[in-house]
């Protein structure tokens, strides 16, 4: 199952909760961080964006983000470099999960740009996590991110993600409410799995 949503909506929290409920989980943000730590990606980034994106020999994600958010052609290039690699890692992970002795009934993958990257066909189901804009701004601010509106320019709106997703979770309430809603969705999906 693919899990998506805008910045500050609570995707990462929902992923943790899915794990607590017994699902195998993977964050594509973590996959990207691992990829950016490789020499191959570092060298490609330095060649394209300049030495200032890896001043100490390792990629400065903040410098990369600042650069690609101000230059759409660099953002498009970076997405073209990252998304196929993320897709391969995701396929490897899925194969690994399915090959375990006792595979979980559900595997949940957090993909912030799931629909934007055209990855929806990789998943049997998708969930969009949405929340009020003011709450999203508050959550993102706690993590030191720019205003949600600035970062959302490149993304589908919450409404668009919700319309395209199989399920939508409103994450304006308590952690217990989030867990109950996610538990209900996972049970529904479990009921619809072939034997």
The domain spans of the chain are 2-189
Order of strands across the sheet that contains 107-110:
24-27, 107-110, 2-5, 126-130, 167-170
Tens digits of residue pLDDT in 113-160: 999 988 999 999 999 999 998 888 887 766 555 544 445 566 899 999
Mean pLDDT of 86-90: 93
Pick the CATH number of 2-189 from 3.40.50.20, 3.30.1330.20, 3.40.50.1820, 3.40.50.300: 3.40.50.300
Length of the chain: 195
% of the chain residues with pLDDT over 70: 90
pLDDT of 112 over the 60 cut: yes
Q: What is the structure's pLDDT at 163?
A: 97
Tens digits of residue pLDDT in 37-73: 999 999 999 999 999 999 988 999 989 988 988 898 9
Alpha helices per DSSP H over the chain: 11-20, 28-36, 39-49, 61-70, 72-99, 133-142, 148-152, 158-164, 175-191
What is the rounded CA–CA span in Å between residue 162 and residue 158?
6
What is the rounded CA–CA span in Å between residue 195 and residue 191?
10
Confidence of residue 30 (pLDDT cuts 50, 70, 90): very high
- State the Rg of the chain over Cα: 17
Confidence of residue 190 (pLDDT cuts 50, 70, 90): confident
Which candidate, 77, 85, 45, places its Cα nearest to that of 61?
45
What is the rounded CA–CA span in Å between residue 12 and residue 140?
12
Q: What is the structure's pLDDT at 146?
A: 53
């Amino acid at each position: 199952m693919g899990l998506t949503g805008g910045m500050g909506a609570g995707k990462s929290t929902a992923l943790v909760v899915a794990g607590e409920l017994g699902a195998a989980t993977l964050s594509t943000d973590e996959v990207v961080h691992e990829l950016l730590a490789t020499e191959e990606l570092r060298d490609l980034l330095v060649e394209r964006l300049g030495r200032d994106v890896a001043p100490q020999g390792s990629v400065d994600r903040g410098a990369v983000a600042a650069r690609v958010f101000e230059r759409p052609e660099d953002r498009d290039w970076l997405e073209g470099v990252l998304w196929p690699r993320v897709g391969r890692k995701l396929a490897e992970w899925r194969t690994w999960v399915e090959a375990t002795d006792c595979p979980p009934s559900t595997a949940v993958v957090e993909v912030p740009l799931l629909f934007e990257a055209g990855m929806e066909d990789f998943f049997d189901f998708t969930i969009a996590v949405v929340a009020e804009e003011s709450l999203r701004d508050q959550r993102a601010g706690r993590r030191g991110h720019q205003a949600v509106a600035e970062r959302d320019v490149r993304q589908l709106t919450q409404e668009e993600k919700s319309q395209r997703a199989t399920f939508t979770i409103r994450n304006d309430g308590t952690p217990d409410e989030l867990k109950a809603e996610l538990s209900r969705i996972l049970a529904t999906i479990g009921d619809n799995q072939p034997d």
